[in-house]
Structure formats: structure tokens, C-alpha cells
Structure 1
Amino acid sequence: MDAKRNLSPPQRLAVAYAQRDLREAFSLLLEFDNRLMAIAAKGQESLIKQLRLAWWRDQLKKDYIDRPKGEPLLAQLAICDHSLALVAAFQSLVDAWEQIVAVEGDIESPAILVANKARGDAIFGSYAIWASGGRISTEAVRAAGEFWARGSLGLLVLATDLKLLPGLKPLNLLQLAYAVDGKANGHARFRIFLRMSWHGLTGM
């Protein structure tokens, strides 16, 4: 896996603790979500953002041999062991980010809730199925995915609402990256970082 990929430090840590045979696919899911987030965050008109997202949808519909050869994410997608499942997850992520872009920053919009559930299902749901064979509660995975998705958008997610998933350390690390006390200060956030590190080392 290319260490220079567009992943945040918590995401890099999560990928490092993923099952070895799933690291590539898990990394691609996170990087693609980051790419779409970057599109949504640009200071451009909503229509331009939607056109850029539509470009990704069009490429994902094509056979891999017809996709642009110079796009690293598409190139990695084509050779990944989980490419078929990833294409479906990528498409769900595009749909989710289109909903987010369409509401133009209205965080109270019901579309944000729907989009975050879709993002959580695409990333948390996919990894949970691959890693556990469906043995973990779908509802628990979905709740964890939504918790992470809200936090990644900068929406408040309280540590009291966090529910760790047994046997799914990478997903727990992603949740822990955003779990804060309602009155969290710099020291509290540092304790959260220490908790992430401890969980990464011990699983506790």
C-alpha cells in the first residue's frame, strides 16, 4: 500500500490495524471518501461540485479498461481483490456526497442524516462484512458508521454515545478519532488520542 495516500493520521492508524488482506480495500474506501469530501469543501458553486461528482459516477459505471488511466484511485480500484464490492461502495459514497453538496451546508437538513448513514454503510458496513463475515450486528455497525460520519463532517459526536465494535479495531479507531466530551478542551482531546493509541495496542 502506498504510504503517500491521502489519509489522515487516524485513518492511517486504522488501516495499519486492519486485516492484512483487507488493508488495500479499506484504504481505498477512506481515500475515496476523502477525495469526495475535498470536492464538497471547495469554494465553488454547488452545480460545479455536482458535475465533478457526476464525473466519478460516470467513470465507475465503465468497465475498468475504459476508465482514465491517469487517475490513481481508479487504477488501484481495478487491481484490488475486492474491486466489485468497492465499486458499489464507491457509488454509494458519490450518492451520499451529492446529497451533502445539494443542501449547501444546511447541517439540519434530513439529507445530511441520510447521507451519513450511506457513508457509514459504505465504509463501516463493507469492512465489517469482509472482516467478520456478517457476525457483527448490522445495527451496531450502522450506528458506529453514522457516529464516525457525523464526526468527520465536524458535527458534534459525544464520547457517551460511542459504542465500540468487538473484533473491529480499525472501525473503533475511526470512531475514537471524533469522540469528544461535550466540554472537551485541549487536554480532553489529548486523552482521546491516548485512548486511541491504547486501543490500537491492546484492543481495550
Structure 2
Amino acid sequence: MTGIVEDPERDLVLTYARAGRRAGLAALLALDDALAKLLRTTREPALGQMRLAWWREALEKLDHVPAPAEPVLKALEAEVLPHGVTGASLVPIVHGWEVLIEEEQLAADAMRRFGEGRGQLFVAAGALLGAAGDPLAQAGQGWALADLAGNLEDEKERAVARDLARPLLEDAARTRWSRSARALGALAHRARLDLAEAPKAAGAPSRVGRLLWHRLTGR
């Protein structure tokens, strides 16, 4: 899954969040990046589960004690929790990632569980941003599955992930997103663009234009 790399499209999407909440959205995405990196760099399933358990416990503790000296947790404490998002509400994101360690082969049901868990990032971000009536869970699941499809090696598994992601993202795209949540809507549109039969490269003018149109219209 995507790591912490230079990503001009994501930098653009972050500007869609109002200034006072932008750092919070960046912190939530950094949490997802950290979990993705954990899986990418851990070969032993038992070790991966131990590391994910540490993140689960650390997120839950954010609601009761100061964050340890870990940059992602510090950012969540400073930029996310003050806006009504609890550390405990972020734990399902970790559960979603854990599916990829627990399952030797990713059947459709396991992928759905992954999408439902990781997709809670959109729900938390929606609470942070003050979203109103937006299809957060649906879009978050589609976004998570589209990214999964782009990172799987097995073509059959990739096809299943794409087939699960498309209807979720297409349905979410039919909604006019509230102004507060347009950063999340843009992430969902970006995931749809990645699922195209012949996707344009990230940063292509047509992709950027589509994201800008969403910023203006919510569509």
C-alpha cells in the first residue's frame, strides 16, 4: 500500500480541507501510511500482528494519557483529538490492515473486511472536517479497496478488489459532497481514476482537472 512518498495529487487534495483542519487530515493519512509501511516491511505474520497490536493499544491510550514520542501519535493528539475524534474510533483502521496478515489468500469476504476497517479513516476524517450527509463509509471502503487492487501481485485478487471497489466509488460519486468533505470526495474520485481500464498517470492534466472540478462543484 502507498507509503510516505512525494504525491502532488494528495498534496492538492489536502488543500481542499479548511486550513484549521488540514493538519488533522494529514495526520490521519500519515497513520494509514505508517500502517501500510508496517505491513510492507514485516515478513513474519506473528511479528506483524504484534506491531499492529502496539498501534491498537497506542491509539486507545490517546484517550487517557499523553501520546508517546512517536510522530504520528503526536500529530493525532495535537490535530485530530481536539476536534472530537477519539483514539478508540481509529482502532478499526488497524483491524482492517490486520486482515492482510491474518489471511494467506485474500478472498472477497476478507477484502470486504479490509475495506470496512481501513475505510473508517474516511468516517474519522469526516468527523474531523465537519462533513454533513456525505457517503463516508462507502467512499472509504472503495478508496481502500482500489488502493489494495493497485498493490496486489495476483491478477485474480486484483480483479476481485477492483470489482468490489468500483460500485462503491461509483455510488459515492453520484452524491454532491458537502464543501467540508470535498477533500475526501476528491480522494474517492482519485481512486476511481486509478481503476480506469487505461488510467492516466498521477498528475496528468485530465486527472488534476477532474479533482479541481470536484472542488468547485462537489461532484
TM-score by length of 2: 0.73
Contact 1:7/1:34 (CA < 8 Å) preserved in 2?
no
SS in 1 for 2:192: coil
2:213 maps to: 198
Q: 1:89-104 alignment to 2 at 5 Å? A: 89-104=89-104
2:46 maps to: 47
Question: Mean Cα displacement is larger for which, 25-34 or 122-131?
Answer: 122-131
Change beyond 3 A, Cα 1:148–1:15: same
Partners of 2:199 and 2:9 lie apart in 1 by: 19
Partners of 1:188 and 1:36 lie apart in 2 by: 23
Partners of 1:189 and 1:8 lie apart in 2 by: 9
Change beyond 3 A, Cα 1:33–1:89: farther
Q: Which residue of the other structure, out of 118, 122, 125, is the alignment partner of 2:123? A: 125
2:17 maps to: 18
Change beyond 3 A, Cα 1:78–1:131: closer
2:85 maps to: 85
2:172 maps to: 163
Partners of 1:13 and 1:179 lie apart in 2 by: 17
- CA offsets per residue over residues 77-109 of structure 1, 9 Å max, x none? 2323525624123312112111222114x3324
CA shift, 1:171, in A, is 1.0
SS in 2 for 1:136: coil
TM-score by length of 1: 0.77
CA shift, 1:115, in A, is 2.2
CA shift, 1:170, in A, is 0.5
CA shift, 1:184, in A, is 1.6
Contact 1:93/1:119 (CA < 8 Å) preserved in 2?
yes
5+ residue gaps, structure 2: 150-160
TM-align CA RMSD: 3.0
Partners of 1:15 and 1:108 lie apart in 2 by: 33
SS in 2 for 1:68: coil
Partners of 1:199 and 1:127 lie apart in 2 by: 18
- CA offsets per residue over residues 47-100 of structure 1, 9 Å max, x none? 1111111111232333433x432x111222232352562412331211211122
Change beyond 3 A, Cα 1:192–1:123: same
Partners of 1:103 and 1:94 lie apart in 2 by: 15
CA shift, 1:127, in A, is 2.6
CA shift, 1:189, in A, is 8.9
2:140 maps to: 145
Q: Percent identity?
A: 25
Contact 2:94/2:118 (CA < 8 Å) preserved in 1?
no
